[in-house]
Amino acid sequence: MNTKERDAAYVAGTYKRFPLEIVSGKGSLVYDETGKEYIDLGSGIAVTSFGVADAIWQRAVTQQISQVQHMSNLYYTAPCGKLAEMLCRRTGMKKVFFSNSGAESNECAIKAARKYAAETHGPDCFTIVTLKNSFHGRTLTTLAATGQEHYHELFRPLTPGFAHVTAGDIEELTALAETTKIAGVLIECVQGEGGVVPLDKAYVQALAAFCRERDILLMVDEVQTGNGRTGQLYAYMHYGIQPDIVSTAKGLAGGLPLGATLLGDKVENVLGYGDHGSTFGGNPVCCAAAVSVLERIDENLLSQVRQKSEYLFSTFTGAEGIEAVTGLGLMIGLKTKKPAGQMVADCMENGVLCLTAKEKVRLLPALNIPMDTLQKAAEIILRSCADGR
């Protein structure tokens, strides 16, 4: 059997894969089994922050692997504390819990919010409010948090204690607070899986004020938007707010599994001995990778992300076959005349890997994609939109 046949025979059928086997890569270029080259604008869904097989990232990982790859959380290892310190210093948050994925980083946020609210406001204060069209993960609890019915259908009963309100409608949330004790509100500043939809700044600020007045925890899911993706270290930094809890994962370790839940002033000591845990959480190799990723996300890199974003917005806005451009930084959604699935297939044939998000084409290039590579990819996308193929 070849790779595709073996996969079809033995791997659970949860993924509709593209008919493409990637065997290697360098930076923003990847190669399939025939040696054909592609410009990668998906980055493993916002994971490979500095592209594939990046030399600095490789050095950080192999150096740590050659020292010790895992010791469990029964012992100290240096990269874990070093990364936590970096995250806290750059966000103003106070403590970090490490896990292995986005869903788990949200799970920890939800547990921390529930414990804080129960201790502070009583055991009937547990409801977590999220937004319609949101995505927060695939575990039963983070599915319950996800404000899209179609993800729920086959898996009821989900974890109780979640409510969903319309993004942009602060009255709906205020009305809900009349009847329901709310422990926390969890938002994505840019809804990623929901179609690359940035939240309105005035709404987010009103939401933050609403939470502050009522001692409701403001939680921001930065799993996709975090770690430089939007042109700030975290997307909430565009919005002039200070969350109580931030969850992140995807791009944090540049291609190794690592989730982090950042806890602010109010909740820094909420989780005590035995309240939460993860065997792999804070793994030294993943943390060493993340330290090297964060060290490189400085103001210079962030300004390059913003410049490349401006280039993409100005190139695509009003172009033939493109109806709308949405997003923030290097997290871009294109509403194209051609169906998004067809666009992705055409681009792939022409050597560019894109993603979809709902009805849009979604672009999540490496943060350091060279400008000429980005230009070449943009030209191929423009041609596909205008349908020269």
Ligand X SMILES: *Cc1c(COP(=O)(O)O)cnc(C)c1O
Burial class, 168, CB count within 10 angstroms (exposed 0-12 / middle 13-18 / buried 19+): middle
Which of these segments, 96-104, 202-210, 234-242, 374-382, binds ligand X (CB under 6 A)?
A: 96-104
Please report whether residue 103 would count as binding ligand X according to CB under 6 A. yes
As measured in angstroms, the least distance from the Cβ of 62 to ligand X is 24
Please report whether residue 249 would count as binding ligand X according to CB under 6 A. yes
CB 138 within 8 A of CB 152: no
Number of residues interacting with ligand X: please give it, by CB under 6 A. Answer: 15
First to last CA, the chain: 33
Q: Which is nearer to ligand X, 221 or 346 (CB)?
A: 221
- Pull the structure tokens for residue 107: 């799970």
As measured in angstroms, the least distance from the Cβ of 44 to ligand X is 11
Q: Which is nearer to ligand X, 358 or 383 (CB)?
A: 358
H/E segment holding residue 121:
helix 102-121
Q: Which is nearer to ligand X, 39 or 145 (CB)?
A: 145
CB 198 within 8 A of CB 190: yes
As measured in angstroms, the least distance from the Cβ of 240 to ligand X is 21
* From candidates 101, 127, 292, 336, binder to ligand X by CB under 6 A: 101
Number of residues assigned to the chain: 389
CB 317 within 8 A of CB 216: no
Which of these segments, 57-65, 97-105, 199-207, 348-356, binds ligand X (CB under 6 A)?
A: 97-105
* From candidates 54, 107, 188, 244, binder to ligand X by CB under 6 A: 188
Burial class, 155, CB count within 10 angstroms (exposed 0-12 / middle 13-18 / buried 19+): exposed
Bridge partners (DSSP) of residue 130 are 164, 186
- Pull the structure tokens for residue 17: 């894969």
Which of these segments, 19-27, 99-107, 312-320, 375-383, binds ligand X (CB under 6 A)?
A: 99-107
Q: Which is nearer to ligand X, 193 or 346 (CB)?
A: 193
Please report whether residue 332 would count as binding ligand X according to CB under 6 A. no
260: left (phi over 0), alpha (psi -120 to 50) or beta: beta
Q: Which is nearer to ligand X, 137 or 147 (CB)?
A: 137
Please report whether residue 346 would count as binding ligand X according to CB under 6 A. no
Q: Which candidate, 254, 353, 249, places its Cα nearest to that of 301?
A: 254
Query: Hunting for tokens 């806890």 — which residue is that?
Result: 263
As measured in angstroms, the least distance from the Cβ of 230 to ligand X is 12
Q: Which is nearer to ligand X, 285 or 322 (CB)?
A: 285
- Pull the structure tokens for residue 312: 């993409």
Please report whether residue 135 would count as binding ligand X according to CB under 6 A. yes
Separation of alpha carbons 167 and 181, rounded Å? 19
Q: Which is nearer to ligand X, 251 or 321 (CB)?
A: 251
Q: Which residue is nearest to ligand X (CB)?
A: 102
Draw the binding track, 250-269, toward ligand X (x: CB under 6 A; -: no contact).
x-------------------
Separation of alpha carbons 330 and 228, rounded Å? 9
- Pull the structure tokens for residue 162: 């979640």
As measured in angstroms, the least distance from the Cβ of 195 to ligand X is 12
Please report whether residue 137 would count as binding ligand X according to CB under 6 A. yes
Q: Which is nearer to ligand X, 305 or 322 (CB)?
A: 305
* From candidates 27, 42, 79, 102, binder to ligand X by CB under 6 A: 102
Q: Which is nearer to ligand X, 263 or 385 (CB)?
A: 263
Residue 342 CB partners (closer than 8 Å, separation 6+)? none
Bridge partners (DSSP) of residue 357 are 360
Residue 273 CB partners (closer than 8 Å, separation 6+)? none
Please report whether residue 131 would count as binding ligand X according to CB under 6 A. no
Cis before 19 (ω within 30):
no
**Binders of ligand X in range 205-224 (CB under 6 A):** 221, 223-224
- Footprint of ligand X (CB under 6 A): 101-103, 106, 135-137, 188, 192-193, 221, 223-224, 249-250
